[in-house]
Amino acid sequence: MGKYFGKKLVVYLITFFFAVTLNWAVPRFVPGDPISMLLSRFVGLEGGRQILESHFVKTFGLDQPLLTQYFGFWKSLFTGDLGISISQYPKPVMDIISDSIIYDFIILVPAIILSWIIGNKLGAFSGVSKKTDSFLMPVFYFLTSSPYFWFALVVSYLLGIKAGFFPTSHAFSATLRPAWTWRFISDAFMHWFMPFLTLFLVQLGGWAIGMRNMIIYETSTNYSRYMESLGASKKLIRSYGFRNGILPQVTGLAISLGTVVSGAVLTQIVFSYPGLGYTMVEAIKRSDYFLIQGCFLFLIIMVLAANFIIDIVYMLVDPRVRHSYSGEV
């Protein structure tokens, strides 16, 4: 068990190291010299000179050799100092990120978990009879083929603009302030629903297709045939197929996380939903490089953490992993 986690942890640490290095290297080595552009923008701002003197010398340390700059970057990272935003000057990048990351959580976590559970159930159900299969499969294919942002636009047009059920942008009405009142919560819920629905539905198709194929495959294996010859009911055989099919689907969940987070970025753009993705793209429009880097870093930390949680879940549901790494077998 320890070995299993040890191995995974090494991959995650290396990924994190790689991501931070990339984050440090891209603005330095890419043509167009973004750093000097950044510096020139700060000079014009009030108090910009002080920022230049303190922060830039520390993080960028442009007068120092590259290796020292690199270590300086790590040092400021661990003290939680990701720089100052230009577009929301003089707010620290860290504050902006901690404000927006909550919006990623509330749309991503329920959408991922619910679509996985319901998608798998629907997939298992779809394989039961040819009739439901030939009706449901095209729907699933359509869902899984839709680009997230396009599906978001369709949802927004149908439910938001045509039907007028839900507001089409932002996380809550401009007239309200975040508070634990019924009025605010219901307002935030209405704003939350369409981004959530988009992420939920697009993922749903993929899980259903995966589980359907898995069960068809499992029901033609030798153990299923054996059960059939013993007179077990079709339903029972399918339920064993489902249990075996769940494992690859958990692995699939880990693999799909990167795509889902990318999808969430695009969905947030369509609904102007102020999560990390929206913040990042706004930062790009305003050439706010510190903020871009901060968002990138936190998106990766989010995916890494989610992967780690899935690893734990995988260990819990697969007895082979549990036993093989603890030396019981």
Nearer CB in complex with another protein: 69/184: 69
Contact residue for another protein among 59, 100, 144, 224 (CB under 8 A): 144
Measure the CA–CA gap between 27 and 22, rounded to whole angstroms. 9
Residue 145 in the binding site for another protein (CB under 8 A): yes
Nearer CB in complex with another protein: 112/269: 269
Residue 257 in the binding site for another protein (CB under 8 A): yes
Smallest separation (angstroms) from another protein to the CB of 258: 4
- Give me the residues paired with residue 92 across strands: 84
Torsions phi, psi for 100 (to 5 deg): -95, -20
Contact residue for another protein among 102, 113, 161, 313 (CB under 8 A): 161
Residue 244 in the binding site for another protein (CB under 8 A): no
Amino acid letter, residue 241:
G
Nearer CB in complex with another protein: 188/311: 311
Contact residue for another protein among 4, 15, 51, 81 (CB under 8 A): 15
Smallest separation (angstroms) from another protein to the CB of 130: 7
- Positions 195 through 234 that interact with another protein (CB under 8 A): 209, 213, 216-217, 220
Of residues 99, 264, 284, 298, the one with CA closest to residue 192? 264
- Positions 274 through 293 that interact with another protein (CB under 8 A): 280-281, 284, 292-293
Nearer CB in complex with another protein: 149/325: 149
Contact residue for another protein among 270, 275, 290, 294 (CB under 8 A): 270
Of residues 324, 325, 313, the one with CA closest to residue 249? 313
Nearer CB in complex with another protein: 14/43: 14
Return the ∠ at Cα 139 (arms to 166 and 259), rounded to 5°: 70
Measure the CA–CA gap between 50 and 262, rounded to whole angstroms. 37
Residue 296 in the binding site for another protein (CB under 8 A): yes
Cis ω before 90 (30° cut-off from 0): yes
Q: Which stretch binds another protein (CB under 8 A): 20-28, 100-108, 117-125, 225-233?
A: 20-28
Residue 100 in the binding site for another protein (CB under 8 A): no
Q: Which stretch binds another protein (CB under 8 A): 56-64, 66-74, 145-153, 318-326?
A: 145-153
Measure the CA–CA gap between 135 and 139, rounded to whole angstroms. 7
Count of residues binding another protein (CB under 8 A)? 59
> Could you count the other beta carbons within 10 Å of the beta carbon of residue 248?
14
Q: Is 92 helix (H, G, I), strand (E, B) or coil?
A: strand
> How far apart, in Å, are the Cα atoms of 291 and each of 66, 150, 298?
22, 26, 11
Measure the CA–CA gap between 116 and 130, rounded to whole angstroms. 23
Residue 34 in the binding site for another protein (CB under 8 A): yes
Contacts of 120 (CB under 8 A, 6+ apart): 207, 208, 210, 211, 242, 245, 246, 249
Query: Is the CB of residue 20 less than 8 Å from the CB of residue 77?
Result: yes
The residues that touch another protein, with contacts defined as CB under 8 A, are 11-12, 14-15, 18-19, 22-23, 26-27, 30-32, 34, 127, 130, 133, 141-142, 144-150, 153-154, 156-157, 161, 168, 209, 213, 216-217, 220, 255, 257-259, 261-262, 265-266, 269-270, 280-281, 284, 292-293, 295-296, 299-300, 303-304, 307
